[in-house]
Amino acid sequence: MARHNNRGMGVKYMLAGGSVVAALGLVADLNGLLPKPSPVKEICQEIVEPKAVLSRDELAKLLAIPEGSNRGQIQQVMRSPYCRLPNVQVRDGAMAQREAYPLAFDPKTWLIVLYEGESYAGYSFSFRR
C-alpha cells in the first residue's frame, strides 16, 4: 500500500514541476527565440495639415457613416487630415489608403481612416506614445 502511495506522489510532483516549466516557457521569451511581430507602419508619409485635429462632434458624425459609403461623404464631415500614412493591403489584392486625424481631446490618439479607391473602408485607432 505504501508503495502505491509513493508512486502517486512522484507523479503529482512530476506533473506540478512540468506545469511550472510550461508556465515559465509561456512567459519567458527563451532568449529571443520566438519571432517578433512586425510593427505596423504608422509613420506619416505626407503631412497634409499640421494643425489638424478631430473634434468629438466630427468623430461622432464619422462613426455614423456606414462602411462602403463614398469618400466624399467622409470629406463633408471631416476637414483635411493631419497626414497620409503608407498604403496597406487589407485584403488579398486590395490596397487601402490611410489618413490620420489626431483627436482634439486626446492628441496621442489618432483616428486612422481607410479608403479603398473612392469607398470608405473603415477606421481604426492608433495609440501614440
For 11, the enclosing helix (H) or strand (E) is helix 2-27
Count CB atoms within 10 A of the CB of residue 102.
Answer: 20
What is the tens place of the pLDDT at every residue in 23-54? Answer: 444 444 444 554 544 445 578 999 999 999 99
CA distance 40 to 20: 34
- 46-127: what fold? Beta-lactamase Inhibitory Protein; Chain:B, domain 1 (3.30.1450)
Do 99 and 113 meet the contact criterion of CB atoms below 8 Å apart?
A: yes
For 126, the enclosing helix (H) or strand (E) is strand 119-127
pLDDT tops 90 at residue 1:
no
Number of H helices, E strands in the chain: 3, 5
Q: Tell me the pLDDT band of 7, cut-offs 50, 70 and 90.
A: low
Count CB atoms within 10 A of the CB of residue 103.
Answer: 17
Domain spans, the chain? 1-36, 46-127
Provide the pLDDT for residue 21.
47
